[in-house]
Structure 1
């Protein structure tokens, strides 16, 4: 069993435990309520057993919140994909990961994104992308395939010229000042952002430093067609598709958008 799968299953178990706790009954009484063995309740809550759809439906009903069944089924469906470690994804280098994003972007019609410290790959110049990929290769100690990865990242940008698509991207102003490459490369990168003005498929908003904000900038995230959210951390890529998480990240994007120019 992969570490990613195990972590996601533990997270689902924690959510099940929360719902039981909200009812105010212990594990034994909850098991009696839904006609299970006490050991099954314990295994599910502690991520020792993989639940079925019937299990989470019964759990939601037993907790008196049948409306939570859809969210629990969504979490169950996402066990395999919810967390994907970068170490495992980059085992064959950066190029395969970049081409996976090419496919994901091609099948996306509308995207809302936010980045706090980096220009997103969709808008990167080859020079800027090259320095980022080299730095990440050194950090992750992964296979070095920089030029192939840069080419794949540039290929991803072809979606910007496809009619019917819309990419609404917010950047915290700090991302324009983080110098992760030589200054002349950064200057070209900033010029690239200016070139986005007027494109029908791209909207770029800058959240100014010092602007009053309804929430702290925190981490970057991407909402694909209001169906899935992708969050990247240093070691993991997280994917969420529950109604609760989509609404939460949607509100976060809306809040940042109110401060953007």
Structure 2
């Protein structure tokens, strides 16, 4: 399935209107359809007015209850897939203010109990030293001092033992020098230190690890309900359970090949010593 980014917002409106029209054409009230789907009438109403976006599973249940033909099922489920995907372009984030972006991330982190991060290229802000954070914002327009402060504030979440964190980093991510060598040694030392926390697992994928699947994108999975995937121009947000399951499977594949605990610390210590 292909789509343009501007389709994502419109698709929610289109999906709501399509579900409402299909129900009316079937001659059913919202209450009757709700009973057929084993949903509440208010839930059906929120779907049809666009106040709530149905999941792909919700849409499939509704289409079965409406006895929709195969062509309609294919068309509407494709629309639902787009509606459960969000595109956030980087320029829009800059216009809204990067501090708001930091607040959104803090909210996602606060709501999740299990967080998984795949980092193929660089170290994420949660694990970064202040100098590394400042360097990573070099190409962000405007005054970055407040953003640095918010990123560092977010790091407090790492010490919440009610949450579990798994960070998978390639060797490149650990060793990519965006700060001077002495600062890189300090940054890697921080990774080693954090790896001792009981709720944090830091896995390392050395360059020579033999794997048929390549590390394509940075992505984060929040519990099993939401995944974000980043590239140079923005990020995709996936809420459909099938997309999230795919990212969980990819994460598990890399996790099985990663070094953890003492092995990971030994590798990182070697790389830190090399920078010294």
TM-score relative to the length of structure 2? 0.68
Aligned position for 1:6: 7
With 226-235 and 54-63 compared, the bigger mean Cα shift is at: 54-63
With 66-75 and 220-229 compared, the bigger mean Cα shift is at: 66-75
Structure 2: 5+ residue stretches without partners: 15-24, 27-49, 260-276
Aligned position for 1:116: 120
Number of equivalenced pairs: 215
Structure 1: 5+ residue stretches without partners: 14-34, 37-49
Q: In 1, Cα distance between the equivalents of 2:224 and 2:74? A: 20
Aligned position for 1:224: 222
Q: Are positions 1:249 and 2:257 aligned together? A: no
Q: In 1, Cα distance between the equivalents of 2:144 and 2:200? A: 27
Cα deviation, residue 72, structure 1: 5.6
Q: In 1, Cα distance between the equivalents of 2:254 and 2:179? A: 27
Look up the SS of the partner of 1:134 in the other structure.
coil
With 125-134 and 178-187 compared, the bigger mean Cα shift is at: 178-187
Once the two structures are superposed, the pairs formed by residues 71-86 of structure 1 within 5 Å of their partners are: 73=80, 75-76=82-83, 78=84, 82-86=86-90
Once the two structures are superposed, the pairs formed by residues 56-95 of structure 1 within 5 Å of their partners are: 57-58=62-63, 61-63=68-70, 73=80, 75-76=82-83, 78=84, 82-95=86-99
Structure 1 residues 11-66: Cα deviation after superposition (integer angstroms, max 9, x where no partner): xx9xxxxxxxxxxxxxxxxxxxxx89xxxxxxxxxxxxx9x979875499422897
Structure 1 residues 94-143: Cα deviation after superposition (integer angstroms, max 9, x where no partner): 222122211211111101110111001110111100000123x1xxxx3x
Structure 1 residues 164-184: Cα deviation after superposition (integer angstroms, max 9, x where no partner): 100111001111221112222
Contact 2:135 2:179 in 1 (8 A): yes
Q: In 2, Cα distance between the equivalents of 1:7 and 1:176? A: 34
Q: Are positions 1:205 and 2:206 aligned together? A: no
Contact 2:121 2:173 in 1 (8 A): yes
Aligned position for 1:23: none
Look up the SS of the partner of 1:215 in the other structure.
coil
Contact 1:71 1:244 in 2 (8 A): no
Cα deviation, residue 214, structure 1: 4.0
